[in-house]
Amino acid sequence: MWQAPEDVLEAVAIGAGILGTGGGGNPYIGQLRARQALRRWGPVTVLAPEEVPEDARVICVGGIGAPTVGIEKVRDLQSYHALRAIEEFTGEQATALISNEIGGSNSVEVMIAAAKAGLPIVDADGMGRAFPEFQMKTFFVYGVPCCPMAIADEKGNSIIIRETITPAWAERLARAATIQMGCVACYAVAPMSAEQVRNTAVPNTLSLARDLGNAVQQAHDTGRDPMEAILNTCPGRILFSGKVADLDRRTTGGFARGTLAIEGLDDFTSHRMVIDFQNENLIARVDREIVCTVPDLICAVTTDGGEPVTTELMRYGLRVTILGFPAPALWTTPQGLHESGPQHFGYDTEYIPLQVAAD
């Protein structure tokens, strides 16, 4: 158990940016909102998954909408309102909250609702990274129903999606409502049991994000190699390092899709990496050979500072290092890969697990 005060937010934002694998949007607004919430309502208690009481009722909250809208109509307390709506509908009170997604700016949404409601949060989430769609959560892959769920806006509107035939239908209906609500809504899913949390959530991801952020900051302050600091914190490996040579970005069906080409430097001179992304980085190839695929994490950080670089901030000439981290084990089972593997994103490629040297 630990307390998440205001001054942990910067490290969490950096770590969540790395785990966001290129997606997750601009972290500034989320971090500022969390800071305001923690200042006003005090620090939030963070429970390790094994510390969650047996009789706990754990509600997953998260944001849904468009990041580009979120920098203008900044979110208020939608996640808290969604929480109250689902509690009222199910007749069950939450005893703890859990994050939908650790990657990117969504990582702090749960803290805002928890601070306001005076509830602890679980050090875990439903992705262990970032993914573009609501239904892509380990909870749902392993049998937690995604409905009923509540969606709330900032105006006092909330709706319940009582039942859907698949989680993908929940995403479809939720997104349609979100657009009508003005594109910065939040959702809350009916409570999970402690056992469900322990079996289906990716554990210890908030503390991992915090530790990654601290590692990057300390490396910066002491002049040490940021890559080494990151890889000492989270086992993975350097896939490539170079400069951005080309960026082809387009928007289809509401998603930012495209390819990023990186020309190798130093150890990777005369090689070329190409990364396919759909908000998040999906597939990385070096000289046309696949070196990493979803659900493993393909993370771009600045070569000199180890700071995460989202696909929106990518541009020609930027010096980046591409890190690969093995996916959480919950994603690499046949059920997990069905929702998160390359084929889910339309690729005719098998998932090749990233090999990380044990030390």
Partner 1 sequence: MFVGVDVGGTNTDAVLMDGNQLVGAAKVPTTGDVTSGIVDSVTELLRQHPDHTIDAVMVGTTHFTNALLERRELSPTAVLRLCLPATRLLPPLVDWPEELKDAIGGFTYMVGGGNEFDGREISSLDRDGLRQAVGDMVRQGVRAVAVCGVFSPVDPAHENEAAALISEEAPELRVCLSHDNGRMGLLERENAAALNACLGEVANRTVQGIAEALKRLGIDAPLFMSQNDGTLMDTDFAARFPVLTISSGPTNSMRGAAYLSGITDGIVVDVGGTSTDVGALVKGFPRESAVAVHLAGVRTNFRIPDMVSIALGGGTVVTPDPWRMGPESVGYRLTEAARVFGGDALTTTDLAVADGRASIGYPQRVAGLDPSLVERAMAEIQARVETAVDRVKLSGEDVPVVLVGGGSILLGDALAGASRVLRPEHAGVANAIGAAIAQVGGQMERVYSLESGGRAEAIADCSAGAVQRAAAAGADPSTIEVVDVEEVPLTYIPSNATLVRVRAVGDLALFGA
Q: Which of 49, 46, 4, 85 is nearest to 193 (CA)?
A: 49
- Which residues lie closer than 8 Å to 72 by C-beta, 6 or more apart? none
Q: Please list the residues that pair with 308 across neighbouring strands.
A: 301
Minimal distance in Å, beta carbon 33 to partner 1? 5
- Which residues lie closer than 8 Å to 296 by C-beta, 6 or more apart? 324, 325, 326, 327, 351, 353, 354
Distance CA 173, CA 284 (A): 32
Distance CA 18, CA 16 (A): 5
Q: Which is nearer to partner 1, 71 or 274 (CB)?
A: 71
Q: HEC profile for 218-234?
A: HHHHHCCCHHHHHHHHC
Q: Which is nearer to partner 1, 3 or 36 (CB)?
A: 36
Minimal distance in Å, beta carbon 154 to partner 1? 5
Minimal distance in Å, beta carbon 7 to partner 1? 15
Binding site for partner 1 (CB under 8 A): 28-29, 32-33, 36-37, 65-69, 71-77, 112, 154-156, 175, 179, 182-183, 243, 245-246, 250-251, 253-256, 263, 279, 313, 315-319
Question: 9-19 and 27-41 helices cross at what angle (nearest 10)?
Answer: 140
Q: Which is nearer to partner 1, 52 or 174 (CB)?
A: 174
